[in-house]
Chains A and B, each alone.
Chain A
Amino acid sequence: MSNKMKNEANIIVTKNIKKNYRDNGIEVPAVRGIDLTIKPGEFAAIVGPSGSGKTTFLNVISGLDSATEGKVWLKGKLLTDMKGKELSDFRRDHIGFIFQSYNLIPVLTVEENVEYIMLLQGVDKAERHRRVLEILKEVGLEEYADRLPPKLSGGQQQRVAIARAMVSRPSLILADEPTANLDSKTGAGLLDMMKELNKKTGMTFIFSTHDEMVMKRARRVITLKDGRIAGDETKK
C-alpha cells in the first residue's frame, strides 16, 4: 500500500512529530518524535503521567498547535501544512472537541451551544434545530435545550459538550481528560455513552487521560512517556 493510500485509509497518520516549547529562553521538548496511525472507528486512549506530552500531542494532531517538526495527515489531508481559514474550517468540519472543564458558553442555552458549529457551517435553522434535538436525545438532555449551562450539573454539562462535539458529525472526536472533573459514577456513565455512540456512529474517539476508567473501556491504549510512545496496546 502506498503512503498516500495509507494516509487516506486512516483517520490520523503522524510522522516523526516533535514539539518544543520555549521556557525562559530554553527549548523544552514536549513531544520527541511520534509515529502513530489511528484507524477509522477506533476508541483509543492516550495515557501517561503529567508532562508526558498527551495534551500537546492532541493539540498538534488537531491543528490547535503547530508541530516543531514532522507531519500529520488527517483523513488523508496534510494538516501540518494548513493555516488560517483553511485550518479553522477543516477543524470545524472534521474534528469534535471535548474539554476537561466542559467549556460551554455560559450565556448561550444548551441548544445554542450545540448548534454553534452547525451555524459556522452554514446549516439552515430548521436542520440545525432538528439535529440538535436528535443529539440531545442521544445524550439524554432533550428536556434541557432551553437551559443555560450554569444551571446544569457537571455531568450534564459534559453531555452537552459531547453533543456539541458530535452534532456536526465529524470523523474524529478528541477528548482531553473528559472525566477529570466528574465523580466516578458520572464519569463511567459518560464513557459508556461515548462508547455506545462510537459503536453506533463509527466516529473515532481519542482520549488523553490518566483515568483508569477510560483505560479500561478503551479498545486501544497508547502510552506516552517523556514525549515518546512507550507502549501501544490494542485489546482483543
Chain B
Amino acid sequence: MWFYIKLAWRNIFRNKRRTLIAGIAIAIGLASLILSDAFMIGMENNIVKSATASFLGEAQIHGDGFRETQEVEITVRNFDEVITKLNQEEIVDKFTPRTLSFGMVTSPADVSSVLLVGVAPETEIHLSQIDEAVNRGSYFTGDDNHDIIIGSKLAEILEVSLGDRLVVTVAQAETGDLSQELFRISGIYHFNMKEMDSGMAFIRLEKAQQMLGIGSRVHEIAIKFKDKTYAVQEELPFWETYSQGGNEAVSWTKLLPQLKAFFDMTGISLFVMCLILASVVVFGIINTLFMSLYERMFEFGVLRAVGTRAAGVRKLVIFEAGALGIVSIILGVILGFVSTLLFTKTGIDYRGIEFAGTTIKDMLYPEMNVLQFIIYPIGVFIFMLIVGLYPAFVAGRMSIADALRKSL
C-alpha cells in the first residue's frame, strides 16, 4: 500500500506542468466553494441581523391568533407570569413588551395609515435599533407621553418635521370606538427599509395601552437570545413552554418564512454550484489521468508483466488521482483562504438591497469557519478518488501484451 502511495505521489510530479494546470483548475473550484460558502454564511447572518436586530427580535410571544388576525383584542395571556418566567430563562438575554395596532396619522397636509407600535423605551433599545436610527430629534427622552417617533419617509408623506404635531387615531379593543390623541414629533428615524420608514410610528407603551383600552396588556413580547442559534433550534423546550395557555412563541424563521425559504434556496444554489463545478472539473481530471495513463501504457504493461495484479494497477491509478487531489486541495485551500480573507477586509457593499423582503443594512462580509476548510477539501478528495475509478478500471482491464506492444 505505502509503496503504491509513494509511487503515485512521485508519478504525478513526472509532468509538473500538467499536474499544476489540472491542480489549479481543481483548486479554483475548491476556492470558489469556500468563498461562496463564506459569502452565504456572511449574507445569511447579515440578513438575519438586519431582519431581527432592526425591530423584529429573534423570537416573539403573542396571544394565539394575533399573528394571523392582528386583532387588538388578542393580547399575550398571563402576561405577568410570562414576564416572570422570561426573567428566569437562562437562554434569554433581553426582552421587551409591545403593543401593535393599525392606526391613522394625520398632519395638516396629509393622512397616512401606519402600524402604531407602543414600546417600553428602556427595554426596547436592547431589542431594536430604533434609537440608533433616529437621525433627527431624540429617542424618547424625558417622560412626555405625547412623544411620537416616525420614519423619514412618513415625515415626507405627511410633510412634517421635528416638533410638528400629529393626530393619531386608533380603534379601541372590544368596543371598536375610535380613540384620538395629539402627539408631537420628538424623533425621526431612517432605517433605509421602506416598510419601516414609511409605515410605522412609535409611541410609549402606556400611552398605546391607554388609547387601545387594553389596560396593562401587550400584543407582543420580542425576545433576544444569549446565542442567536437558539432561534433556529426547534427542539428547544423554550418554544413549548411559551406556547401554552393561549400564547404562541415563534422564532424569526416562522415570522419571516420567506427568509427561511430564501436561505434554503441559497443552500440548494450552493449545492447546484458544487455539481456544476464538479462536472466541469471531472472531465479535466479524467483527461489528465487518461493522458498520464496512455503515456505510460508500456510502464503499466511492465508492472503487470512482472506480477502486479490488476487490483494493484487500479490502486496505483486511484492513488495518483488522490495525490493530484492533495496537490489541488493544498492550492485550493490557500487560494480559498486568501480570497476569503481579502473579502473579509474589503467587504461587499450590498447596503440598501432587499433580499426576501429584508433590506441589507450593513456591509456584507464573508465569514470563514473551520468546517469550510475541512468539509470541502475532504469532499474534493473523495470526489477525486471516485473520478479516478474510471481510469483505474480501464488500467486494470488493459491487455498486457497490447500495453507492451503500444510503446515499442
Contact = CB atoms under 8 A, between A and B. Distances in A.
A100 B401 contact: no
Contacts of A192: none
A59 B11 CA distance: 27
Name, among B10, B307, B405, the residue most crowded by chain A CB atoms within 10 Å (CB to CB): B307
Contact of B302 (A55, A93, A103, A107): A103
A119 B408 CA distance: 27
B298 interface: yes
Grouping DSSP codes into helix (H, G, I), strand (E, B) and loop, the A interface class, with mixed when no group exceeds half, is helix
Interface string B6-28: 01001101100000000000000
Nearest to B403: A64
Nearest to A174: B305
Contacts of B307: 88-89, 91-93, 117, 120-121
B309 interface: yes
Interface in A127-166: 164
A85 B106 CA distance: 92
Contact of A91 (B14, B299, B305, B405): B305
B3 A119 contact: yes
A64 B305 contact: yes
Contacts of A91: 305-307
B305 to A, nearest CB: 5
Given A88-B309, A89-B307, A103 B298 contact: yes
Interface residues of A, number: 29
A108 B305 contact: no
B98 interface: no
B325 to A, nearest CB: 19
A59 B306 contact: no
A35 interface: no
A93 B307 CA distance: 8
A64 B308 CA distance: 12
Name, among B11, B308, B312, the residue most crowded by chain A CB atoms within 10 Å (CB to CB): B308
B401 A65 contact: yes
Contacts of A108: 7, 10
B2 to A, nearest CB: 10
A108 B9 CA distance: 11
Nearest to B402: A65
Interface in A85-127: 85, 88-89, 91-93, 96-97, 99-101, 103, 105-108, 116-117, 119-121
A64 B7 CA distance: 23
Given A84-B310, A100-B408, A105 B299 contact: yes
Nearest to A148: B10
Given A65-B400, A65-B401, A107 B7 contact: yes
Contacts of B303: 105
A88 B11 contact: no
A105 B307 CA distance: 15
27 contacts: A55-B405, A59-B400, A62-B305, A65-B399, A65-B401, A84-B309, A84-B310, A85-B309, A88-B308, A88-B309, A89-B309, A92-B308, A96-B306, A97-B306, A100-B408, A103-B299, A103-B302, A105-B7, A105-B299, A105-B302, A108-B7, A108-B10, A117-B306, A117-B307, A119-B3, A120-B308, A164-B306
Given A97-B306, A101-B407, A164-B306, 9 more contacts: A55-B405, A59-B401, A64-B400, A65-B401, A91-B305, A91-B307, A103-B298, A108-B7, A116-B3
Interface of B: 3, 7, 10-11, 13-14, 298-299, 302-310, 312, 399-401, 404-405, 407-408
